[in-house]
Amino acid sequence: MLTERLLQIFVALADEQHFGDAARVVGITQPPLSQGLRRLESLVGAKLFDRGSGGVELTPAGTALLPYARRALTSIDEFHHAVSAHDPGGPELRLGLTPEVPAAVGAAVAAACGEAVKGSRVTVVSAPTSALLPQVAAGRLAFAVVLHPSVLEGVDAGPVTLLPTWALTPAGLHPTDGEPLPLHKVGALPVAVRPRPEAPAARDLFLDTLALHRPTGGTVVVTDDRAALAMTAAGQAIVITPDPTLQAPGVTRHPLIGDPLPVRLRLIWSQNPALHLAAALPQLTNALAASADARAAS
């Protein structure tokens, strides 16, 4: 049976040309994505992709069928929207947030969505920037807050908002909590960073700036803030974070002098938004900016 998920796998693989990246876009792991592709190829009776060491490429059959898959997904999205419009709870408005968005900032933008689009039910999706971008471009998300810089294909974007960051270090490294530090003096431990494919351009800017101010110490890749904080509490890493609430016993927080590594965020939306969504854009961009200002003052 041809399902929406199989079509999503097909389109995501065609767009990303990489199994791991496509799995993140669809919101599944790699094994079920591979299984879904095999099932789809069995259903259509044709090989859709040629697999290589560096990724995948569409076969002639895949190239021919891709436009139909895109149109089918668009029709399904329109159907879901029509159903939600008749829901007593109101139409669904899907907002994407990259994991680097602090909780208070995300909450402020979500609240602004509810206020700006009256009667809507706001659903929040958390995913890496690389996964949110194609979902907004395809209309599966109304808005998203992503890391800057990013390759903005098929989307429009608001102004860049900067969030100040702090360095979290093991307490034994800098015993005085709240002591301002220049980046080159935070310590020789590796800085915890999330995987590069989640936001390649933003990660490269972060790493280049980090290397410029702190040529030694290196980095260590972590899956999320929880893992990064645990490593810091264990004396194994340093965290650079825009979240003023991220803290744990055995960890000290330090403002970075000169704020060399701000987190850069942007609100994005599709290039042809519905009129009621376009009307909400000023309120959402203002909410993002205002919440960032509040973080800077805290």
Considering the segment(s) 87-161+263-297 as one domain, its CATH architecture is 3-Layer(aba) Sandwich (3.40)
Taking residues 224-236, report their average pLDDT.
94
pLDDT at residue 145 is higher than 90: yes
On whether the pTM is more than 0.85, the answer is no
87-161+263-297 against 165-255: fold identical: yes
**CA neighbours within 13 Å on the CB side: how many for 25?**
27
Any idea where the domains of the chain sit in the sequence?
4-83, 87-161+263-297, 165-255
When pLDDT is averaged across residues 269-277 and rounded to a whole number, the result is: 82
Q: What is the CATH number of domain 165-255?
A: 3.40.190.10
Residues ≥6 apart with Cβ < 8 Å to 156: 268, 269, 270, 271
With b for 16 or more beta-carbon neighbours within 10 A and e for fewer, the 211-249 pattern comes to eeebeebebbebeebeebbebbbeeebbbbbbbbebeee
Examine the pLDDT at 163 and tell me if it is beyond 70.
yes
Stretch 63-89: mean pLDDT: 75
pLDDT of residue 107: 94
Going by pLDDT thresholds of 50, 70 and 90, the confidence category of residue 149 is very high
Q: Which of 71-75, 142-146, 180-184, 232-236 shows the lowest mean pLDDT across its residues?
A: 71-75
Alpha-carbon span 139 to 136, nearest angstrom: 5
Q: Is 95 strand, coil or helix?
A: strand
Average pLDDT, the chain: 89
Give the C-alpha separation, 154 to 157, whole Å. 10
Helix 4-16 vs helix 30-44: angle between axes, to the nearest 10 degrees? 110
Q: What is the pLDDT of residue 138?
A: 84
The pLDDT value recorded for residue 137 is 87
Q: Which of 51-55, 171-175, 186-190 has the highest mean pLDDT?
A: 186-190
Q: What architecture is domain 4-83?
A: Orthogonal Bundle (1.10)
pLDDT value at 64 more than 70: yes
pLDDT higher than threshold 90 for residue 257? yes
